[in-house]
Structure 1
Amino acid sequence: MSTIVKICGLRSAEAVAAALAAGADMVGFVFFPKSPRNVSLAEAVTLAGFVRGRAEIVALTVDADDAAIAAIRDRLKPDWFQLHGKETPERAAAIRRLAGTQVMKAIGVSEPADLARHAPYAAVVDRLLFDAKPPKGAVLPGGNGIAFDWDILAAGAGGRPFMLSGGLDPDNVGTAVARLTDVPGFVGVDVSSGVESAPGEKDAGRIAAFVAAARA
């Protein structure tokens, strides 16, 4: 199976066009005001109009309440909700019921012990996202451009499909995919800051290079 590639944190029609032209499978919109990649719901709805039917639409939220989830569900109609906050397994399950979509839960990893945190989520979400744990004091739960030791994932995610994120860029994603290809559950990679020229500013050339490297 071809490696799934998700380009996250898109904020402009040009960035969306670049992701689609490169062949991205998933396009992510960030709903988190502290992020340089934050978009309004109205902006996301407009951008999603270019995406629908060509790639899966992902809404990234951070500890969002029911009203926010319902508004995104009704207006954006995403294929996925990506939960990037401190959502408990119970909250993740509740969001999945409320949203009526597939749900992906981000798990921060910096050492082997962190991997065990995924187990309670495995039964209630459709996919896991192993991301680099943010450094102490970081404002953002992801998109910090740091990586972790991929060998931590050698045992897989207990049969649950998972994607890799954190510090990936066009130069290292090929190595990451090669390392994880035979790991049970590995399905793809997710990038945000690694394809930017500045925080929140996507670079079309880097997007194309990233997708090509991930698929090579």
Structure 2
Amino acid sequence: MRERGKGGQPSPLLRMVFLALFFLAGVCLGQVLAGRVPREAGRELSEYLHHYVTVEESVTAGAALSALVLYLRYPLLAALLGFASIGVVLLPCTALLFGFFLSFSVCCFTAAFGADGVLLALAVFGLRCAVTLPVFFLLAVPAWGSAAALAAMSFGRGRRAAPVTYGRSWWRRLGLCCLALLAGVCVELFVSPLLLRLVLGRVLA
């Protein structure tokens, strides 16, 4: 996709900063709301993990589908929103939700297990975030530029705006990001359960 720093549109760096600010706002909101979660939720999480650690883990179709959804939902949504003018509004909202749910989940672990919850949250979310966060921004930043160009054309600036194109660089970026996400899914299925079991054995001992 052609990068569009001209025609009054923000540069890619400014777009990345703008989306990152929405992501950080979601993180802060998740921390605030996580403090209002009742203590019963922490006990339920503890009981679930006690049950999880006693069950032998195996790679099933359901587990593979769940991992695919967890890895692909935000990055692919960001890519798809680049094909619609409404993406100008929905892409920052997606970054906000990404930050909120990640922060809320981590805070629930720390509320339930204290300092050990940080280590447990790292085992659960660390690998996923290491893959999905950079991929999300790699796709969201150019997608937001495309969505802004489409919005400009839709609201009367089409005569002065260059056509929005999705060239080889766009599809190459999308393909490489999908490969990275699929590699993360494979590691999530075959390696992460072993690491999580080790951490659970220490935390829940």
**TM-score w.r.t. structure 2 length?**
0.22
Rg (Cα) greater in structure: 2
**TM-score w.r.t. structure 1 length?**
0.21
